[in-house]
Amino acid sequence: MTPTDILTGLAAILALLGIALLSVVIISMIQRIMSRLQLQLPKKVMKETTKKERRTERMSKDTASEGVTFNDIFMFMIAVPLVLLWVGFAGFVIHSGLQDDSVLEQIEGYTTLIAILGGPALLIIKDALDVWKQEQAEKTAFYKIKAQAVIDYNNQAQSQAQMIEAKQQEQEHKMENKK
């Protein structure tokens, strides 16, 4: 089996993965369109058929149905196969170079191809890591705010309980003094 045959097989597998991902994207878009069509019923029908939603329920549904964006399609159709092809080909060249001396004779061509694929692949990986770092920073900031809110709530609850207890004791003293 020649390196060209293996690369052709790898490209065919990645093409099939791309088709599968495209079908998933199309199905999710169709589901999103169908759900929007159902949401656009006349107001009378909607009032009769649905109970009143709480604001938090509506907000959670809105955030859950953000849907598929162009960036999602780009990542699944171009970026993911490119990175997989780059890593797969680089691994294949290393493996073949250890097994077959003829690969080492043509190593310049292979390294050129790895470099051509590697440039965009490295940019994609860097951007993905930047997005991940940003998400982690947002999560950390959110949890800091949430923890501070819990601390503030507990402090307020404790001071309110102390105030209620002080008022009760004050009332009891007034009642005792009147007797």
Tens-level pLDDT at each residue, the chain (179 residues): 676 777 777 777 877 877 777 787 788 778 877 777 776 655 554 554 455 555 555 545 554 555 666 666 777 777 778 888 888 888 888 888 878 888 778 888 888 888 888 888 888 888 888 888 888 888 899 999 999 999 999 999 999 999 999 999 999 999 888 87
Q: Tokens 């293996």 sit at which residue?
A: 6
The dihedral built from the CA positions of residue 27, 32, 33 and 34, taken in this order, carries a sign that is positive
What is the per-residue DSSP string for 62-75?
HHHT----HHHHHI
Structural domains in the chain (count): 1
Boundaries of domain holding 44 = 3-131
pLDDT number for residue 42: 55
> Per the domain annotation, does 108 fall within a domain?
yes
Under 8 Å CB-to-CB from 86, ≥6 apart: which residues? 114, 117, 118, 121
Token output for 14: 């990645």
Residue 126 lies in a domain: yes
**pTM, whole model, 2 decimals?**
0.45
Residue 149 lies in a domain: no
Residue at 141 is within a domain: no
